[in-house]
Structures are given as structure tokens and as C-alpha cells.
Amino acid sequence: MYIICIIGMFIIGAVFGSFFNVVGYRLPKGESIITPPSHCPKCKHKLKWYELFPIISFFIQKGRCRKCKEKISWFYPIFETICGLLFALAFIAFEFDPKIIIAVTFISMLIIIVVSDYHYMIIPDEVLIFFAIVLSLEIGFIDGFKEMVIALGNGALAFLTMWGIKLLGDFLFKKESMGGGDIKLMFIFGLVLTYPMSIIAIFIASLIGLPISLLLMKTDNHEIPFGPFLSAGAVIILLTKIDFNMVLNFLGA
């Protein structure tokens, strides 16, 4: 039963990952996420139902459009696989705890953010507002009204801290040091992860992003989205269920 649930969560994650890719790709361009249906970006061929199976369809079609034979980016199957793995890991971490609903919702938001920030260097406000409301309600229903109020307070503190970091960065570098989307995203980090752990998520994101940033700075691409690194840091904290007391114990405090 346990293994079946893990496999089931992987399949659900891969299916939703395909949809989240559409949301993250279209929403920043002001396009509908419903119409037109999924299609080849070159020949506009409308994909049939049997061409939409996550991961599998890519390999059956040998990575090409069935009509015009244009190559399909490896981004799609890799992204769908990652989404499936994250959903499966969420089940392993939370099993049948009701908080798995919060975890999966949070992961879904991060997936969309990674796509939009990767392609356009934008974290859409629509995504942040929608998930902030949904996650607040989920916390209220699962943990109670008091915990929801505390979570909202944690979110506000995380937002203000990130805003302060941005102001400091702007002063030191004499230019825009951080996008507004990253600052707003921290509100949701505080909401879900608690304030102290949202700050640690920034630290983890910086550790992950620094070597990659140094490599990219050697190329012509000096614009690096921070959203994917923040998302990675948040996912690590979420799925390992590290809390602030564990961090203090590790540091010997």
C-alpha cells in the first residue's frame, strides 16, 4: 500500500507538473492557461490526448513533434519527472498527515514560480496572491485559526526582512539588487515554514546559487533568477521537516 501511494503521488505530480509548466510559461505573457490547448510552438499542431502523457509521450515520439518533426525540449520530461519526485517525496515526508495538503500546495506554487522565473525573470503576482490565500485557508482548517494568525505574522516578518535585505543590497550595489517577486515570495515562505526557517531558506538558496552564479558570470548571461534557488532552499526545509530548534541544537546553542 505504501509503495502504491508513492507511485500514485509520482504520477499525480508528473501530470500536474505538465499543467504547472503551462501556467508558468503562459501567465507572465498574459495568455490564457486554458486556451489554446497544448500545441507545438512551431507548427501549432494541437496535441492529441495520447500525446499528452507526461514523460512517456516524449520518449514515444522520440522527442519530436509528430507533425512537423521539430525537436521538443528536454525541459518538459525533466520538469515533469522532478514534479513527480517532489510529490512522491512529500508523501514520504508527511504520509497521511493532513499537512501533506499544505506541502503539496506549497510545492505546486514553487514549481510554477521556477518556470516563470526561469523563462522570464518574473514571479507573477497572480500566483503569489492565489497561493497565499489558499495556503492561509489550509493552515486555518488544518491547524486552527490561532495558528493561521501566527503563520500570517511569520509571513509578514519574513517579507519585511527580505525587503530590508533588498534595501541594503540596493545601497551597496547602487542598483536594483532583488526583484519584487522574491520579496513577496518570502511572505509565503514565512507563512508555511515559519519566520526563522524562511530566513534559513535564504541562506540555503545562497549556498546553492553562489557557485552557479559564479559560473554564469563567466558567460555573457549576468542576469540570474533567484526564485529557483529560493524554491530549492524552501523544498529542502519542507521535506526534511527541519525546524529552528533542530538548527540550534546542531549549532550547539
Assigned domain for 108 exists = no
User: Which cell goes with 77?
Assistant: 520530461
Task: For residues 107 and 86, give the distance between their C-alpha atoms in angstroms, rounded to a whole number.
Answer: 7
Is the per-residue pLDDT at 175 higher than 80? no
Assigned domain for 51 exists = yes
CB 71 within 8 A of CB 64: yes
**Whole-number pLDDT of residue 51:** 65
Residues 46-77: pLDDT tens digits? 776 666 778 888 888 877 777 787 787 788 88
Residues 129 and 211 in one domain: yes
Is the per-residue pLDDT at 123 higher than 80? yes
Task: For residues 179 and 25, give the distance between their C-alpha atoms in angstroms, rounded to a whole number.
Answer: 18
Please state whether the peptide bond connecting residue 36 to the residue before it is cis, i.e. omega within 30 degrees of 0. yes
Assigned domain for 92 exists = yes
Residues 24 and 136 in one domain: no
Supply the range of the domain harboring residue 49.
1-96
Residues 147 and 74 in one domain: no
Assigned domain for 116 exists = no
70 vs 160 pLDDT, higher one:
160
Q: What domain count does the chain have?
A: 2
Residues 84 and 147 in one domain: no
Residues 85 and 127 in one domain: no
Residues 64 and 150 in one domain: no
Is the per-residue pLDDT at 215 higher than 90? no
Is the per-residue pLDDT at 108 higher than 60? yes
**Whole-number pLDDT of residue 165:** 84
pTM, entire model: 0.90
Task: For residues 18 and 212, give the distance between their C-alpha atoms in angstroms, rounded to a whole number.
Answer: 26
Confidence class of residue 42 from pLDDT cuts 50, 70 and 90? Answer: low
Residues 75-84: pLDDT tens digits? 888 889 999 9
Residues 157 and 192 in one domain: yes
Residues 92 and 182 in one domain: no
Out of 48, 80, 96, a domain closes at 96
Mean pLDDT comparison of 61-65, 147-151, 164-168, highest-scoring range:
147-151
Is the per-residue pLDDT at 10 higher than 80? yes
| Phi, psi for residue 49 in degrees, rounded to 5 | -60, -35
Assigned domain for 252 exists = yes
Residues 79 and 175 in one domain: no
Is the per-residue pLDDT at 94 higher than 90? yes
Residues 73 and 186 in one domain: no
Residues 139 and 222 in one domain: yes
Residues 169 and 78 in one domain: no
**Whole-number pLDDT of residue 193:** 95
